[in-house]
Amino acid sequence: MERKLAPWLYLALPLLLLVAFFLLPMGMAFVLSLKDYSHALYAPPFAGLLNYRVLFSSAHFWQVLLNTALFTVLVVPAMIILPIPVAVLVNQPFKGMPIFRILIYLPVVVSLVVAGIAWKWLYQSNGGMNWLVSPNTALLAVAIMVVWKGLGYYMMIYLANLQSASNELYEAAEIDGAGLLQKHWYVTMPHLRPAMALVAIISTIGALKVFTEIYVMTRGGPVGSTETLVYYIYDQAFGNLNLGLACAAGFILMLVIFGLSLLNIKYFYLKAEKEALNA
């Protein structure tokens, strides 16, 4: 009996925290999404799926989804590809490389608000890169800042994988006559594929949840061209005081992120299972 109860005793506190800080708030948000706050803030009537119907019939909401998808397309490929050559470079045993690694990683530890203000100054309307004033370039301007901020973080993920690679593979490639680019294409890239899958999922989730950068740099403008889903949720909740619509949009975002998280878990589970079978 004690053996059967022991695992549950160890899991009791984590399960309690999961219920208190995830399941309970998620349930409360779903209940709020079923109420109509558009006319009554303190005693909203039950509206069923009205808020979800309003969202999916709103051209504004579809534009927000399009902005979010476009931002994700701009950020994620850059996050996957650009840190790879940087990781390869900092993996070399050059003199002063630890300092160079610190400089590359430094933007990661800088506050998002500070970084956003600094890049907003760089994109001033009277400067040479006044991209924030045009609807055609504002989203790209924010995406560049996000990639700059996250480059060092994803570089460290790739670097950790590179340092576990066997030198014998590179030596064998050299014996076969492979050049520098061929060695990295046929040895480095296959070794980094699991890390690239992880980076793809993490950066996608991060891009879908972008808020602080938008809030600091553009406030969703100009003309709504940088209004992403999380900023839309914030604006509906605290700008329009429509908590039902905000919670409905938040619940949709949660389902998308939950699906991506399941994809992440499934990928690593299958990878671990495959490695166990090959062992």
User: What is the DSSP annotation of 145-162?
Assistant: HHHHHHHHHHHHHHHHHH
Within a domain: residue 30? no
Beta bridge partners of 46: 35
Using alpha carbons, list the distances in angstroms from residue 231 to 22, 109, 251: 21, 23, 14
Within a domain: residue 44? no
* Domains held by the chain: number: 1
Split at pLDDT 50, 70, 90, the class of 215 is very high
Within a domain: residue 248? yes
Within a domain: residue 92? yes
Within a domain: residue 201? yes
Q: Which of 14-23, 30-39, 89-98 has the lowest mean pLDDT?
A: 89-98
Rg of the chain over all Cα atoms, to the nearest angstrom: 23
Within a domain: residue 250? yes
* Backbone φ, ψ for residue 10 (5° rounding): -70, -35
The pLDDT of residue 127:
61
Residue-wise pLDDT tens digits, 225-263:
999 999 999 999 999 889 999 999 999 999 888 887 787
We report the CATH number of the domain holding residue 117 as 1.10.3720.10
**Structural domain harbouring 64:** 58-278
Within a domain: residue 22? no
Taking CA 90 as the corner, what is the angle to CA 142 and CA 97, rounded to the nearest 5 degrees?
115
Is the bond preceding residue 190 a cis peptide, omega within 30 degrees? Answer: no
Q: Is the pLDDT of residue 14 over 60?
A: yes
Within a domain: residue 46? no
The pLDDT of residue 166:
74
Q: Mean pLDDT, to the nearest integer, of 132-151?
A: 94
Residue 246's H or E segment, with its range, is: helix 243-278
Residue-wise pLDDT tens digits, 40-82:
888 889 999 999 999 999 999 999 999 999 999 999 999 999 9
Tokens 């878990």 sit on residue? 265
Tokens 């914030």 sit on residue? 234
